[in-house]
Structure 1
Amino acid sequence: MSINRRSFFKAIGITGMTIIGFNSSGSPKSPDDETEFHGVLYDSSICIGCRACEKACAKAHGLPEPEDEMKPGVLRKTSEKQRCVVNSYETEQGEVYVRNQCMHCNEPACAAACLTKAMYKTKEGPVIWREDKCMGCRYCMISCPFDVPKFDYNSTNPKIQKCDMCYDRIVKGELPVCVETCGDALFFGTRRELIAEARKRITEWPEMYVDNIYGEAVAGGTGYLYLAPVPQNELGFDTRLQNSSYPSLTKSFLYSVPSVFVLVPTLLLGIHEATKSKQNKNENHD
């Protein structure tokens, strides 16, 4: 690239994470300060591929430390043991890194497909999985256009594993652990702030960026937004995804669904809760 990533980072005057998501005192904004969704802007022009975000995420969520070696052309995916991954791509601009995790869609297909609302879009923005409501149908895995939710088939207590944007930290006014750890390529704030900052960078540094904010419109808009120095097809993004949200495809169908099918999720959740209660009683007696 014509400009070194670190030099560019210093040139635009960004110090750590102070550019987005902080008030004048230097503290993270409380989600209550805004009614709109919060999210994360990832700038691949700045990312150096250190994978510190991967390790911090694993530690924060009790997962094994990532061991897979990052190699150009070798696609590493999220799994039941890893919520985020950084991949390396050889492009026309040289080596470029891209981080992958749950995209936290504005209208998530996984939540729309979930019969018991175990997969849930919070008012703060993150899409979270609620174990106590899950009945194990795994419809969320099938419906996700980004192939993110993963099921731990080898566990005696299987869970759906995915990035939750450190929701427990956000509700306390703290930053997601990956953002706090990175300080360079990841920035937290409201979607409006992030999009405005992304457009500003594209305008001021056109030689550094393709004029596109990935996530602004794709799949109806996402909580994770991307800036990159090369087109999306060079960075492993699925360019076939539509811009409108995927749940919108089924809205007209749902209006015509008989009420019995609308009541089925409640019935299934009741069965799930009853079974779980019985199992807990049996374990206590043992």
Structure 2
Amino acid sequence: MSGGHIDFNKTKTFLIDTTKCTGCRGCQVACKQWNQLKAEKTVFFSGEGYQNPPAMSEYTFTRIKFRDYQKHGQNEFAFYKEMCMHCNEPACASVCPVGAFKKTAEGPVVYDEKRCIGCRFCMVACPFGIPKYEWSKAFPLVRKCTGCYSRVKEGLQPACATACPTAITYGNRADMLQEAERRLKSRPDRYFQAIYGKEEAGGTSVLYLTHQPLDELGFKQVTKRPLPSYTWQALRLVPGIFLGVGGTLSAITWFQHRKERIRREEEFKNSRVKPEQKEEDQ
């Protein structure tokens, strides 16, 4: 769901030109720093590519993916930044029974952890496989790229876009689409003639330009139809009484889950207080 009517032409959008990406991973570092994400202990994995970490997680919101290919008989590398696509009509928001996800007028799709009941429908619904669960924690929540919403609200650019020396341009979606079209037209020899994200999943706030065909780089093929339409199409097949009961049960579950989570968190915090601190408090 989104916060009222949104003019998608004005939503802030990433234009990521993979032909200009050097694989420096500056965006990964900036994302870690701004979001205060822990480092992960990883191992080198070359099954899918040479990227590291091998997958996004609760501690990694973005990463540079490596693809090797042949060009004029020589081995070459291609890189692209994997991140939340911040869909215009996000599937994660449409399936969330408690409205924990929301598309903002500024562009980012944000997540309210206070609403989350841990159902993980968002993880199933996302066609790009972005939301991740905090498997390492006793009281897990969902984590994903925030689009640096706190920065964007203040008129700043996301941390990754600020750190990138060559490949990321950030601005209104209409302007980013116009710039992408200009590059395709002016350098047809340089670019594969497609803008990934222009129509995928109904359009996204992340656009890509590439030199190689999209499937060779590993971009996911998704429908161009907004995914929430599939959600509601499926729900229409369910008798209304079950939807009513389901909605009521979701509300009850949310309140119970939230109350229980708060209680457990308090117990967990109290258990970590040192004995001398408890005596001082008394």
* TM-score range for the pair, normalised by the shorter chain length: 0.7 to 0.9
Structure 1: distance between partners of 2:31 and 2:213: 28
Q: Does 1:245 pair with 2:226?
A: yes
Measured in 1, the distance between the counterparts of 2:147 and 2:155 equals 13
Q: Does 1:268 align with 2:253?
A: yes
Match for residue 69 of structure 2 among 91, 94, 97? 91
Q: Which amino acid aligns with 2:49?
A: G
Residues 63-142 of structure 1 correspond to what in structure 2 (within 5 A)? 63-65=37-39, 73-74=49-50, 76-93=54-71, 94-142=76-124
CA distance 1:34–1:106, change in 2 (3 Å): closer
Letter of the 2:227 counterpart? Y
Aligned-partner residue type, residue 249 of structure 1: Y
Separation in 2 of the partners of 1:260 and 1:278?
Answer: 27
Tell me what 1:257 maps to. 240
Contiguous gaps of at least 5 residues in structure 2: 1-5, 272-282
Q: How far does residue 176 in structure 1 lie from its aligned partner after superposition?
A: 0.2
In structure 1, stretches of 5+ residues that fail to align are 1-31
After superposition, the Cα gap between the structure-2 partners of 1:208 and 1:66, relative to the gap in structure 1 and judged at 3 Å, is farther
Q: TM-score scaled to structure 2, two decimals?
A: 0.81
- TM-score, normalised on structure 1? 0.80
Tell me: CA distance 1:133–1:62, structure 2 relative to 1, closer, same or farther (3 Å).
same
Alpha carbons of structure 1 residues 281 and 230: separation in structure 2 relative to 1, 3 Å: closer
Contact 1:70 1:88 in 2 (8 A): no
| Separation (CA, whole Å) in 2 of partners of 1:189 and 1:263 | 41
Per-residue CA deviation, residues 240-264 of structure 1 (Å, 9 max, x unaligned), is x211122111223434533223333
- Inter-CA distance 136–175: structure 2 relative to 1 (3 Å threshold): same
- Choose 224-233 or 185-194, whichever is displaced more: 185-194
Q: How many residues align?
A: 254
Partner residue of 1:197 out of 170, 179, 199? 179
* Residues 54 and 66 in structure 1, CA contact (< 8 A), matched pair in contact too: no
Deviation at 1:154, TM superposition (A): 1.2
Q: Deviations over 1:218-254 (max 9, x none)?
A: 1111111100011001111123x21112211122343
**Aligned equivalents of 1:160, 1:83: Cα separation in 2:** 12
Identity %: 33
Q: Which has the larger radius of gyration?
A: 2
Alignment of 1:114-193 (within 5 A): 114-193=96-175
Residue in 2 aligned with 1:41? 15
Paired residue secondary structure (2:190):
coil
| CA distance 1:35–1:204, change in 2 (3 Å) | closer
Over 3 Å counting, the alpha-carbon distance change for 1:159 and 1:180 in structure 2 is same
Question: Are the equivalent residues in 2 in contact too, given 1:114–1:140 (CA < 8 A)?
Answer: yes
Amino acid across the alignment from 1:242: T
